[in-house]
Structure 1
Amino acid sequence: MRGSLRIRLIAASLLALLASLSVGFFALGMARSDPGAAMATGGFLFLGIFAGFWFYLDQALARPVDKIASELRVRAHAETGVPAFVPSRGAENLGDLGPAAASVLSALEAARTARDEAVSAATRHFDEERVRLTALLSEIPVATILLNRDGQIVLYDGQAAEVLAQIGTPRLHAALSEYFEEESLRAALDRLHKTGLGTTATLQGRRGAVTFTATLKPMAEGGTLMIIDSEESRIAPDADRPLVYDFALLGQRRDAALEDRRLSDLTFCVFDLETTGLLPHRDEIIQIGAVRVIGGRIVPGEAFETLVDPGRPIPDASSRVHHITDAMVRGHPSISSAAPRFYDFASGSALVAHNAPFDLAFLRAKRAETELNWTHPVVDTVLLSAILFGTTETHTLDAVCQRLGIEIAPHLRHTALGDAHATAEALCRMLPMLEGRGIDTFGALLAETRKHGRLIEDMN
């Protein structure tokens, strides 16, 4: 096995040499009677020999090496769910490379097991601290929000989510100015920054929404604690107070241009649509589902899902795929009402979809009805898969999830939120793989995706 590839290459080279010599003697014999025919025949035969030799090297070397490389990359970055490494078909041509790769990954798995035990202990401590923090906030019967120095949300509790939901969808990393009128909010923050002391302000919700009284206090690292106290925001001390937070956002700034920002610092809105058919100019959206990814993880509790009444019957053939019927969408909002809500949910994010041209074509086709301009940065997980695993692989959502060890529950497949969540899981597993290849900024990612324009259109 160890010398099989070398022997195969020597044998192939000898065969190519013998074939070339045979062609040479044959052409020499023909040249005496018909020089032109001899040159043409010899040329074609040489081309045939070269093509055959190249094809053999591609099948015996290039494809197995690419396959092993992609499998190694998956297992180097995927934490769980990926099956044990088994050298792929054709690896027997590569001598000891397959067994050596399996040995390295076995050692990596042992190291991960030891690390996981240490992380488990730290996680238990973290969970205890989270329980204490939640218990502390439960004694404060008002809505609590923590902002970073740019006025973006770093933490909000369940009651703050109720307050924000009266204006828009609660979201980490969203600017507070998306919820409250800029003038009153900016005046309060200016007073806070000038004096370094707490201040009270009356904040008017955007789009004529309700007014709230808020107390703002300066925090470490330039953050601001905001407490909203009103009858609408008061809750019983023993009420459930789920927290949504990412303290890494406290120190994050948006000074860099989009192309220069690291992928790990971007906010992604991963979405999927279900439709009445496949033609954006003729068919309609009937379901929208989306989740948000920040810091390479799906944000718990931040999801968008709605059925959409298309105003026309849903074809039976489409219902057999996504199981959405006319009765299910009846009474739900039209696209002119649902799309603006999703637009707000995706504000400030890069849009992510599997086969993005399809989904974006439907959103943009409804521009006349919704008056929305979908100019968000776009990431297509089909193109990410092509970058990491090569264009010769299958890049359907099912194939990508299977490759990455992601399971999609059968009852969630072909639902907008279920497919969006699976796509988000795939994104979270592919981001560190991209960074491992040196593709760590949005600009670098764009440059790589545009190399695969023949596979699928880049939507940026």
Structure 2
Amino acid sequence: MSPRLGLRLRIFLFFCLSAAGAVALAGAALWFGWSRADPALPAAPFLTAFLVFALLNTGLLVGVWLLFDENFAKPIEMISANLRLRAHSGVDKDLCPESTKYLGDLAPAADAVTRTLSAGVMDTAAQVARETERLRTETRRLTSLLTEIPVATILVNPAQEIVLYDGQAADILRQIAPPRLKAPLGDYFDAASLAAAQDQLTRTGAEISTDLHDHSGARRYKVRLKPLGEGGYMLLLDTQETEVDPTKARPLVYDFALMDTAQACDILDAPLNTLCCVAFDTETTGLSPAEDRVIQLGAVRILNGRIVEGEVIDTYVDPGRPIPPASTNIHRITDDHVRNAPDFDTVGRDFHHFAREAVLVAHNAPFDIAFFRRSADRMGVTWDHPVLDTVLLSAVVFGTTADHSLDALCDRLGVTIPPEMRHTALGDAQATAEALVKLIPLLQGKGLRTFGQVIAETKRHGRLIQDLNTPHG
């Protein structure tokens, strides 16, 4: 029997085979007895006995299967899922609830083994936590020092992608487009002036000063490019000539792993923990993508398996129509909130830039993405991103019959949604992002290590919800 079939389905098929086998044997025995009768007996009593046996036998095996499924198969699947949560996501789920009492010592034994193994892991984790806190303290000190320097800082890798930017650099980039790590500098600055500066830097091998223009040519920035030994460079922008408050706190956004530029590969072959993802959510005037309108958008970026702090979209959207009271009762957004907000086409274009070359992630993705695809022509963009749906990922990890609502998924994964953030676009996007970060190691633990492998698996659960990926990802 195929190992890809779930445990409960395999057990169900086993009972079906048992029922069919018993009925076949009984029919063969009755036929043998009737055919050997001398003189030949009427067939009707034998046929009646066969039908009665078939019904009673099937009913008995269905009853036994239901008891076995409820008291053995379901608890075993629950223990398996909770063991994966402990092993891969650090979520301490109870392995010995009342429902596992018919499994004998299996659940307590599994609980004892995992707790013994996790004790050493926890000691290591405590040491890592102490070191992490030390690094955070040093980062805060570095941020405080940078605040006193009137220069915006961007670190660029050899592939001309952003590896680090501070708060003032974020303000400057935001004047052009939403700032994001791993974004090519060419997404913000004029290609010709940027290429000339990079060429001069390569030729001289020393720090240079020059001017850069944004795409529109409306803004000019005095910059310095300082080469680094790894092949990248620092881009320093003078904030005294830009609309930036030099006294503003300057949080750093960075991922130094981006300095080692990975060779480009087909998205289907990309490892899950290297994907650039954007988890997003919308609040709308109703439940029909064809008739209703978006009134709020929230989005969070995920890079190399972690949420990028500070890279978010959180905006109201003017729907151009009154918000129904029934919708306001759910998301608490009123007409006053969206008054003077940007329209959906403007927000959509900014979001498209924010999600450039990223995998879109949503809970019940067909609903949210339908609003954007419907307006693609007006926005002047194409929504052909690869998509991960956390409903389908939940089905892959926890089985089709589990509850796949966002609340249930977050509860299983130990993700907390503050009550005031539930049914807000950013709150649900943040919850979806945190759920994805915890689902990735669970998927890898099931042998699904690349984007293509995950998509092939989610397509098997298409009866739950549509998978939006094309055959080529």
TM-score of the superposed pair, with normalisation by structure 2: 0.86
Q: Judge conservation of contact 1:298–1:425 (CA < 8 Å) in 2.
A: yes
Q: 2:79 aligns with which of 53, 56, 68?
A: 68
Q: Judge conservation of contact 2:299–2:429 (CA < 8 Å) in 1.
A: yes
Cα distance, 1:395 vs structure 2? 0.2
Cα distance, 1:60 vs structure 2? 4.3
Q: Judge conservation of contact 1:289–1:416 (CA < 8 Å) in 2.
A: yes
Q: 2:438 aligns with which of 422, 429, 433?
A: 429
State which drifts further: 46-55 or 294-303.
46-55
Q: Judge conservation of contact 1:153–1:174 (CA < 8 Å) in 2.
A: yes
Q: Judge conservation of contact 2:82–2:93 (CA < 8 Å) in 1.
A: no
Q: Judge conservation of contact 2:171–2:244 (CA < 8 Å) in 1.
A: no
Q: 2:51 aligns with which of 32, 41, 59?
A: 41
| 1:445 maps to 2:454 | yes
Q: Judge conservation of contact 2:95–2:110 (CA < 8 Å) in 1.
A: no
| 1:281 maps to 2:290 | yes
Q: Secondary structure at the match of 1:201?
A: strand
**Residue equivalent to 1:403:** 412
Separation in 2 of the partners of 1:135 and 1:326? 40
Separation in 2 of the partners of 1:353 and 1:143? 34
Identity %: 46
Q: Deviations over 1:156-184 (max 9, x none)?
A: 01111111111011111111111011122
Q: Judge conservation of contact 2:150–2:240 (CA < 8 Å) in 1.
A: no
Q: Secondary structure at the match of 1:169?
A: coil
Within-5 A mapping of 1:44-123: 44-45=54-55, 54-55=65-66, 57-79=68-90, 82-88=91-97, 90-123=99-132
Q: Deviations over 1:199-257 (max 9, x none)?
A: 33321101344111221122132221111125334878765221111111111325111
**Residue equivalent to 2:362:** 353
Separation in 2 of the partners of 1:283 and 1:18? 56
Cα distance, 1:41 vs structure 2? 2.4
Instruction: Report how many aligned residue pairs link the two structures.
Output: 445
Q: Judge conservation of contact 1:27–1:38 (CA < 8 Å) in 2.
A: no
Separation in 2 of the partners of 1:219 and 1:211? 24
**Residue equivalent to 1:8:** none
Q: Judge conservation of contact 2:79–2:95 (CA < 8 Å) in 1.
A: no
Q: Deviations over 1:68-120 (max 9, x none)?
A: 111111122223xx454132454223222111111123224422431232113
| 1:163 maps to 2:185 | no
Cα distance, 1:145 vs structure 2? 0.2
Separation in 1 of the partners of 2:395 and 2:22? 39
**Residue equivalent to 1:337:** 346
Supply the AA of the counterpart residue of 1:37.
Answer: L
Q: Judge conservation of contact 1:166–1:209 (CA < 8 Å) in 2.
A: no
State which drifts further: 106-115 or 277-286.
106-115
Cα distance, 1:427 vs structure 2? 0.8
Cα distance, 1:22 vs structure 2? 7.7
Q: Judge conservation of contact 1:27–1:42 (CA < 8 Å) in 2.
A: no
Q: Judge conservation of contact 2:172–2:244 (CA < 8 Å) in 1.
A: no
Q: Secondary structure at the match of 1:220?
A: coil
**Residue equivalent to 1:392:** 401
Q: 1:369 aligns with which of 368, 378, 394?
A: 378
**Residue equivalent to 1:184:** 193
Cα distance, 1:283 vs structure 2? 0.7
Separation in 2 of the partners of 1:66 and 1:444? 22
Separation in 2 of the partners of 1:452 and 1:73? 20
Q: Judge conservation of contact 1:352–1:380 (CA < 8 Å) in 2.
A: yes
TM-score of the superposed pair, with normalisation by structure 1: 0.88
State which drifts further: 15-24 or 336-345.
15-24
**Residue equivalent to 1:3:** none
Q: Judge conservation of contact 1:24–1:42 (CA < 8 Å) in 2.
A: no
Separation in 1 of the partners of 2:272 and 2:92? 27
RMSD: 2.8
Q: Judge conservation of contact 1:150–1:253 (CA < 8 Å) in 2.
A: no
Q: 2:335 aligns with which of 293, 310, 326?
A: 326
Separation in 1 of the partners of 2:22 and 2:188? 78
State which drifts further: 48-57 or 300-309.
48-57
Q: Deviations over 1:377-412 (max 9, x none)?
A: 111011111110000100000000111111111111
Separation in 1 of the partners of 2:43 and 2:174? 87
State which drifts further: 95-104 or 58-67.
58-67
Supply the AA of the counterpart residue of 2:174.
Answer: A
Supply the AA of the counterpart residue of 2:149.
Answer: I
State which drifts further: 105-114 or 407-416.
105-114
Cα distance, 1:451 vs structure 2? 1.2
Separation in 2 of the partners of 1:107 and 1:234? 57
Q: 1:237 to 1:281 in 2, by over 3 A?
A: closer
Q: 1:130 aligns with which of 139, 156, 166?
A: 139
Q: Judge conservation of contact 1:293–1:299 (CA < 8 Å) in 2.
A: yes
Q: Judge conservation of contact 1:143–1:233 (CA < 8 Å) in 2.
A: no
Q: 1:38 to 1:190 in 2, by over 3 A?
A: farther
Q: 1:234 to 1:166 in 2, by over 3 A?
A: closer
Separation in 1 of the partners of 2:273 and 2:418? 28
Separation in 1 of the partners of 2:393 and 2:66? 27
Cα distance, 1:268 vs structure 2? 0.9
Q: 1:40 to 1:187 in 2, by over 3 A?
A: farther
Separation in 2 of the partners of 1:417 and 1:236? 26
Structure 1 runs, 4 residues or longer, greater than 4 Å off:
15-31, 45-57, 233-239
Q: 1:185 to 1:69 in 2, by over 3 A?
A: same
Cα distance, 1:123 vs structure 2? 1.9
Separation in 2 of the partners of 1:108 and 1:362? 47
| 1:413 maps to 2:418 | no
Cα distance, 1:435 vs structure 2? 1.5
State which drifts further: 184-193 or 333-342.
184-193
**Residue equivalent to 2:8:** none
Q: Which runs of 5+ in 2 are unaligned?
A: 1-14, 36-40
Q: 1:334 to 1:25 in 2, by over 3 A?
A: same
Q: Judge conservation of contact 2:168–2:246 (CA < 8 Å) in 1.
A: no
Q: Judge conservation of contact 2:443–2:449 (CA < 8 Å) in 1.
A: yes
Supply the AA of the counterpart residue of 2:74.
Answer: R
Q: Judge conservation of contact 2:85–2:93 (CA < 8 Å) in 1.
A: no
Cα distance, 1:362 vs structure 2? 1.3
Q: Secondary structure at the match of 1:185?
A: helix
Supply the AA of the counterpart residue of 1:338.
Answer: V
Separation in 1 of the partners of 2:327 and 2:245? 47
**Residue equivalent to 2:231:** 222
Q: Judge conservation of contact 2:225–2:235 (CA < 8 Å) in 1.
A: yes
